[in-house]
Amino acid sequence: MKAGSQRLANAMPDLAWTADRDGVVDFLNDQVSRYTGVALSVPAALSHVVHPSDRQAMVDGWRQALKTSSSFETEARIRRSDDVYRWFRTRILPVTDADGRIDHWFGSAIDINESREAQERLIRENDRILNSISDGFYAVDDQWRFTYVNSSTERMLERSSADMIGRTIWEAFPETAGTTLEERYRYSRTSGESVRFPFHYPPMARWFEIRTFPHSTGLSVYFNDITARVEQDDQLAQKQQALELAVARLQRFLNNTMDVICAIDTKGVMVEINARSLAAWGYRQDELVGRTFRDLVHPDDLVATRAETALIVSGRPSMGFRNRILRKDGSAVHVEWSSTWSEEDQLFFNVARDVTNQVDAEIRLRQAQRLEALGQLTGGVAHDFNNLLTVILGNAEFLAEELDTAADLRGLALSIQHAAERGAALNNRLLAFARRQALEPKVTEVNTLIGGMDPLLRRTLGEHIEIETVRGGGLWRALVDPAQLEAALLNLCLNARDAMPQGGRLTIETANTHLDRAYAALHDEVVAGQYVMIAVADTGAGMTPEVMARAFEPFFTTKDVGKGSGLGLSMVYGFAKQSGGHIKIYSELGQGTVAKLYLPRTLQPQPEVRAPTGALARGGTECILLVEDDDLVRDHVSDQLKTFGYRVVAVANGPDALEALQEMADFDLLFTDVVMPRGLNGRQLAAQARMLRPNLPVLFTSGYTENAIIHHGRLDPGVHLLAKPYRREELGHKVREVLDEAAAMDKS
């Protein structure tokens, strides 16, 4: 740069510099050093005095100018000598020679800090004002990109400004492309006119009133939500149209709807009613039109119906009100109403739907919930009862054996034993109802099982009952606990016998059947599929609907005091549910009763059945770790095991058992209760014990297993359970069986 030009540049108040044609700075005027406080030499770069946030944009712009041989202008912050950054507008121009080729570059920077701050204050003030108005406001540039969005826009469009700024209208809201909104926006831009129009935005189901204000750099838009006003206008228009076409529309509506539609005047007289009502309620049209509506309401529902009517007249539409309507034959149907009062017509307009099936389903649900609650209660009672029975039954059995020579005392011991056995049977029924018994399902030929019961049934029911068995051909196999199925069938047959005190016919029928989805929809607990059906029918007195509704409740009975426990059908109900099946009773007074038991079909083959040996229980000398929280039961079982020759270590809970396992290494069997205190049940104890002794055999015992070792009503695979209460021989057999099985596995 020539000396004269340098003096001129140094005299300039602005920052100035030059660069050669390749962009290398070769001159800085004195103002650059004075302003920055940095002694800069050439060739040098100025980027290190530019604010870090602005540095890259300046570098990129300078490179683009060099590449395109064009001028470059930008705004950036430059550091002053006191380390304060101020805004400068920087411009770089190419200087050409006589041939038009770039000879060098000239750059200058003008301080615009005050105007920039004033502009930002103005923007902030405008933003505050625009964010304080209730209308939505946004601005777009000449490429339809959002440049500003106020808070009301974010609220009404349910979008953040970050989701819109920088994107075009059609990118942010693609549903508006090709609509009236795009057409009106483009017209406003091209014509320069402000336009005002309503617009419906389907994704939000809202109406907006929009005003546009075009300008040189784009378009500003004000809008507000007019959905409520549009809906009010629509309602008014619909109401006016309805008044004009009331007769024709009402007639078409009445003749085509499947619900009951009726119009009732202020005196309660039905003035219009559709054909559906005639079929639903059994009347002819001339028998209903002109008749007082209250004549059709069930007497027990009149007071509630009048109260609901008064509320409708006061201006509150009725939705979901239910009452009962009397059909022409005297039967009642449950009806759910939607009703409004028309002041103009002085009429009640009513839509009614028959919800009888829904009401019946709700009743069934409440009954099922009540039975489930009773099951929880009875299961808990059975747990403690079985502990007591274990001690009573075991000691009575021991006394009977020891008092063999004392006939009188032995008779008392046998009497206690028999009473305990009856208590155990009663408790098993409680557990069956509660679905807490441990089922051991096997592939069962139902026809064969029923055939084997024939002698027992004939002896039990008596000669005054004629028994007929109809066994279905090709009957499928069922996966069911055969012993519990026999008990369930015996209970059904005993109930049938008691319904025929003067004698009668009892029919047991089997068949393959399929419960379809329609049937399952009416019975919440039923899964559609293939079932083996067992029907037990009698010619007895039958049951009323009220009795049938409570038939499965425990302790409910219609028999005289002392003639029944009320647990027979509840036991069958619990067994059916726990087996994945279903039971249904059909009965009418004087017409007898049919109980149908449905058991799920299985495709598994019939396994080979081993005949019981009947041998006396053998003892042994192995060491048994006995875990039982009930003191009486623990002492009793420990004594019983010792009479078989076993060595016994008895503890009261899981933590004590784990401590014993760590102290002793010669335990041959863990014999543990399932339900125990101190946060460690029998299943959890067994799992931790096997971490210490992987091959330790485990025998569980319980009168109420909950879900620790039973899932879906069945014992988990490989689990051994001795259900309480049990006899001494049962204890000896089961302990020996588990020990022998473990020994055989060790040898193999």
Q: What is the pLDDT of residues 108-152, one digit of tens each?
A: 888 888 877 766 776 666 667 677 778 899 999 989 999 899 989
Cβ atoms within 10 Å of 546's Cβ, excluding its own: 8
Query: Across residues 440-456, what is the average pLDDT?
Result: 85
User: Which residue is listed with tokens 């969005």?
Assistant: 149
Q: Is the pLDDT of residue 683 over 90?
A: no
C-alpha 741/C-alpha 697 separation (Å) is 9
Is residue 91 within 8 Å of 73, Cβ to Cβ? Answer: yes
Q: Is the pLDDT of residue 561 over 50?
A: no
Beta-bridge partners for 582: 598
Beta-bridge partners for 73: 91
pLDDT of residue 557: 62
- Given the DSSP bridges, would you call strands 347-354 and 332-342 parallel, antiparallel or unpaired? antiparallel
Q: Is the pLDDT of residue 495 over 80?
A: yes
Exposure string for 57-84, b = 16+ CB within 10 A, e = fewer: ebeebbeebbeeeeebeeebbbbeeeee
Is residue 94 within 8 Å of 70, Cβ to Cβ? Answer: yes
pLDDT of residue 319: 79
C-alpha 653/C-alpha 19 separation (Å) is 92
Least confident of 91-95, 110-114, 284-288: 284-288
pLDDT digits (tens, 9 = 90+) for 689-738: 989 888 899 998 876 544 444 444 455 666 788 877 777 788 888 899 89
pLDDT of residue 616: 62
pLDDT of residue 748: 64
Q: Is the pLDDT of residue 41 over 80?
A: no
Of 654, 668, 659, 683, the C-alpha closest to 625 is 668
The token pair at 304 is 């509630």
C-alpha 231/C-alpha 207 separation (Å) is 9
**DSSP annotation string for 391-421:** HHHHHHHHHHHHTTT-HHHHHHHHHHHHHHH
Q: Is 171 left (phi over 0), alpha (psi -120 to 50) or beta?
A: alpha
C-alpha 36/C-alpha 268 separation (Å) is 96
Least confident of 2-16, 413-427, 534-548: 413-427
Least confident of 201-215, 254-268, 467-481: 254-268
C-alpha 629/C-alpha 651 separation (Å) is 8
pLDDT of residue 712: 43
**DSSP annotation string for 527-557:** --EEEEEEEEEE-S----HHHHHHTTSTT--
Q: How confident is the model at residue 432 (pLDDT cuts 50, 70, 90)?
A: very low
Query: What is the 3-state secondary structure of 475-486?
Result: CCEEEECHHHHH
C-alpha 692/C-alpha 661 separation (Å) is 8
pLDDT of residue 708: 41
Q: Please name the residues in contact with 469: beta carbons below 8 A apart, sequence gap of 6 or more.
A: 450, 451, 454, 507, 508, 509
Of 205, 239, 243, the C-alpha closest to 225 is 205
Q: Is the pLDDT of residue 190 over 50?
A: yes
From the number of C-beta atoms within 10 Å of its C-beta (0-12, 13-18, 19+), residue 300 rates as exposed
Torsion angles phi and psi, residue 638, rounded to 5? -60, -45
**Mean pLDDT, rounded, of the chain:** 80
Instruction: Give the three-state DSSP class for 440.
Output: coil
Beta strands in 277-362 (DSSP E): 318-326, 332-342, 347-354
The token pair at 159 is 């979008």
C-alpha 125/C-alpha 117 separation (Å) is 12
Of 241, 236, 337, 326, the C-alpha closest to 283 is 326
User: Which residue is listed with tokens 């274990």?
Assistant: 390
Least confident of 42-46, 144-148, 431-435, 577-581: 431-435
CA dihedral sign, ordered 575, 578, 584, 589: positive
Question: Mind listing the domains of the chain with CATH numbers?
Answer: 3-111 (3.30.450.20), 124-229 (3.30.450.20), 245-354 (3.30.450.20), 442-602 (3.30.565.10), 623-747 (3.40.50.2300)
* Stated length of the chain: 748
State CA 661 to chain mean position distance: 43
The token pair at 119 is 């502009």
Is residue 225 within 8 Å of 219, Cβ to Cβ? Answer: no
Q: Is the pLDDT of residue 564 over 90?
A: no
Helices and strands, counts by H and E, the chain: 23, 29
Instruction: Give the three-state DSSP class for 328.
Output: coil
Query: Across residues 599-623, what is the average pLDDT?
Result: 71
The token pair at 86 is 């101020």
Q: Is the pLDDT of residue 743 over 50?
A: yes
From the number of C-beta atoms within 10 Å of its C-beta (0-12, 13-18, 19+), residue 682 rates as buried
User: Which residue is listed with tokens 């020539």?
Assistant: 2
Is residue 413 within 8 Å of 399, Cβ to Cβ? Answer: yes
- Given the DSSP bridges, would you call strands 260-265 and 347-354 parallel, antiparallel or unpaired? antiparallel
Threshold 0.75, pTM exceeds: no
pLDDT of residue 704: 59
